[in-house]
Structure 1
Amino acid sequence: MNVTYTHQSICALKGSTVDISCFYTHPSWQNVTEVSWFNKWESGVTKDLSLNPEYADRLEYHQQTDKDSTLRITDLRESDSTEYKFRFTTDEARWGYSFPGTTLTVTGSQVEVTPKWSSESKTLSCITTCTLSNPNPIYIWYKNGQNLDESNSPQYKDPVSSNYDDSYSCAVKGHEDLLSPAVCVQGQSCSRVTYTKRRICVLKESTVDISCSYVGYYSTTSSFWFRSDKSTPEDLTTDPGYAGRVKYPDKETRRNEGPFILRITDLREEDSAEYRFTFKTNNIEWGHSFPGTTLTVTGNTTLYDTTVNHIELQDKYINHPVNTEVYVVLYILFQVCR
């Protein structure tokens, strides 16, 4: 009997999806009776990860045969960083728990600005706490929310000499929605936008608030939300498809910084889209290519929001289901909004 892991270590971005896989062998006359992945063990006792509420609706045994197994974890969190192991049992023996597995490290990206002291010329690097398992990552750079450049190097191609209102952020291509926080190159009060949630799933005919916080180095002259799939950014309050269903509830309190909320009522499935926020000052316009919040509107009858922990919901309806119908509805909704 033996287990061979495809990778000894994996480095993945926070919020992304990872596959951890292995191959295993056993005598041909033995039948496999049980398989499981785990990351905690004590005195030989292991706990199947599929039963761990910390991974509720984020984990599945994506591929499982009598020779190989793949563990898939979605919406990765930094707390998922640990060693993962596979265990199987046949009708005659059980594979042990002490054999080394695959170590997962979950990291976020961030912009490093050097030198840190005052200088007219700065160098920008897109850094992570570990080397990404993607063999040839492409880095995307944004300046004031506008797509600036793509490169195979984590270091931006030119030294930067910026105004105090300029901010920069970076992302790995294919994971644009997992971009780094925008950072100021000069000073601490540059223009920037931070979305409260990157993904939201809600029910058809319900109401949703999509929000962000923003800072304009100078006084804001205009601001609005728009759909990213439109060829030209259009203020949703003037879009006929949202007539009477969209408003900015905090509009009267806005200045040159603070929260900005988009409220959509009577949601329709065709409202499913990515929503972005932009603003103008006398000096800049926040770019239209900066990734925003993706909304999924489902016709199912039970609410699930991918950005929060639903252990309590799962315990109430799945671990102790009222009836089979409730269980099935929840399961379908989990699949739609995962």
Structure 2
Amino acid sequence: MKTLHLLALTLLTLTGVFSDSSEWGVNYSEPICAVRGSSVSISCTYFYPGSVHEVQRLLWCSNNTNTKSHCTDPPYVYDSDSSTASGDFEFVGDKKSNCTLLIKNVQFSHSGGYRFRFITDDNNYTAFPGATFYITALELWMSSSSGNRTLKEGDSVNLTCAVNCTPSSPQFVWFKNGKRLPESDPLRKTGSEKLVVTGCLQVSIWPIVHPDWLDTDTELFYTASVLHLSNLTVGDSGRYSCALKPDESIRSEPVQLNIGGGKWRVNYSEPICAVRGSSVSISCTYSYPQSHVVQRVRWCSNNNTEPHCRDPPYVYDSDSSTASEGFEFVGDKTSNCTLLIRNVQFSHSGGYRFRFITDVTNGNWAGLPGATFTVTALELWMSSSSGDRTLKEGDSVNLTCAVNCTPSSPQFVWFKNGERLPESGSILHLCNLTVGDSGRYSCALKPDESVRSEPVQLNIGGSSSLLMFSALVIIGLMVVSLTLIILTPFPK
């Protein structure tokens, strides 16, 4: 019976051909595992008595097409005496010691053994059995807490991405609707982790794909990654796929998740605080009976006094070719109802409501009371050790940057004369001032550092002793200059 092991990654070491430098030999890399569609190199080095021999010709053979064990006759996948290589094969070595072979767009037909042969001015050498090359496909499958029934909100899902050999240092990456999911703490929801990625599985499963070229009695080593989605919502619906670094363009076949909403619902993000002039999203998801198809979506502001957003004006209507200025719908007609507001102003403050209409009679819903949106300005003020008098050297100053609502995870940054300062935090403390601290100071909130507070001008006056010393120096220079003028004889 065939057995599958999913193991944590281990380094496989294979004994190559090792010999004294005066002898002949070829060292191949350990058995290679590659994902179908990617490009892979068979690393290879060779050696010979270089002081008395000169390499004239290099050959690579495949066990699939050349049954001659010593690669003495064609066909070859590479021949240095030929102007072209075979298909997707490229020799990237040299006639000294490097015999590396690059295979592009690898397919299952490329799997098997490869042998390198080199010919010198009076001898030749073939290294066999050669390098072993395995091709695998990324396999992606799903298991859920719901078993075989339709997924609904609250269920959990495991997506497993696996390859049926062990690539070197495998690093899996995940995608939803073609967009890369973050590698650390992705899709976190308040109070609990939404998504967890694990490295290599340690359970037994049987492969979906078993290549024709592989003996069915061969023991396979699988490496896999699991994407765990818990407490599903309609917003988790989408097409999921996986890839192996570094070639993230070669992905598995996608798995479609359709999460049915048990009831009509609109979920808004918590109350939003935005700085005037910035761009902000009102995050929003919605759900409805799975048998319905959404036909139309709308957004209303409090300027629309009809609470269910049945009649205009709308800030967005999917049946209209234009949205209100500054508003952009970045959701879809499936589950995402996010609204983007650009260059927010105080007039944008207030409540916003989302409404959607399906293809079923009376199939419509408005999310009440809606999302709350507050717009604020960055305020900057100064307090100093000098009180109300003019700042001078040696004084200290506190510059305070504040907003009159609470943005999510506020991070303040500071600027002097338009240049970003390394300091952070809502208070900038400047102590033991010098004239060099004079300038225009402003602050901003991450991530939109281009939206800044009104600047505060600091003018630091020099100390009285310094002024007196400067005056004495100037007077002294004037006296010296006058003396030189008096003593200098006028020409006759």
Superposition TM-score, scaled by structure 2 size: 0.35
Superposition TM-score, scaled by structure 1 size: 0.49
If asked which structure has higher relative contact order (CA below 8 Å, sep 6+), I would say 1
Higher fraction of helix: 1
